[in-house]
Amino acid sequence: MPSGPHLHHQAPATATAALVALLQQHQQVGRSLCTTADARGFIPSAAVQDKVGARTIEGRKLRRSVLKGSVIAFVTAGYSGKRFIFEKAHELGVKAIVLDGPDSWAQLMQREGIIAKFCPIDFSNAEHVFENCSKAIRAASAELGGLDGITTFCEMAVPLVARLTEALGLPGNTPDAVDAARDKYMTRTCLAQAGLPTPR
């Protein structure tokens, strides 16, 4: 995807690098498949990136094996119909941290062992939401041995997730990209600056 000043989409490449680093920890991919080392670990070769991203049975197995033992924070649990996603994540070995309102149905999943940690957050306190989420994620992930990602089901929480991933050094869309995508005028401006067709 072409990038303009506000449309910097780093998630696929960064996510692939994170997946490969986890694969290596699980001894799924040897060091011989990587080209050089950086602060986060080994930079994957093109061959490894192709395997992890491939729409093949092998690619799917690699992606699923990477999830085992990973710690992922979910900002809001969504409605109770989303339970099957947490059940599948648990089945795949994901340790889920769920941040949601104090009376959320998600707290039942912690008691049942489906999610690793439920963190009650008062999302109505807009002034302190970022700080409270950040503290809760840091504390929960310290208990669980690290943090591999943050996501959400709620479109309104996407800007918060972008800022949390940036602050915690995790892969994700940048706040600028998210803000531009959620504002029609900014989206059109970015597309025009990138030389892409846009409605007038």
Distance CA 98, CA 109 (A): 10
Q: Which of 114, 84, 88 is nearest to 98 (CA)?
A: 114
Can you give the pLDDT of all 200 residues of the chain as single tens digits?
333 333 333 344 444 454 444 444 443 333 433 444 444 455 556 676 677 778 888 888 888 888 899 999 999 999 999 999 999 999 999 999 999 999 999 999 999 999 999 999 999 989 999 999 999 999 999 999 999 999 998 999 999 999 999 999 999 999 999 999 999 999 998 888 889 988 77
CB within 8 Å of 49: residues ≥ 6 apart? 16, 20
At 43 the pLDDT is: 53
**What's 50's DSSP letter?**
H
61-95 burial, b at 16+ Cβ within 10 Å, e below that, comes to ebbebbbebbbbbbbbbbeeeebeebeebbeeebb
Range 128-134 contact pairs with CB under 8 angstroms and sequence separation of 24 or more: 129/160, 130/160, 130/163, 130/164, 133/75, 133/99, 133/160, 133/164, 134/164, 134/167, 134/168
Distance CA 74, CA 15 (A): 17
CB within 8 Å of 196: residues ≥ 6 apart? 2
Q: Are strands 34-38 and 71-75 parallel, antiparallel or unpaired?
A: unpaired
Give the pTM. 0.73
At 176 the pLDDT is: 92
Any idea which residue has 């800007």 for tokens?
159
Hey, what are 78's tokens? 């969504």
Q: What angle do CA 91, 24, 37 make, to 5 degrees?
A: 145
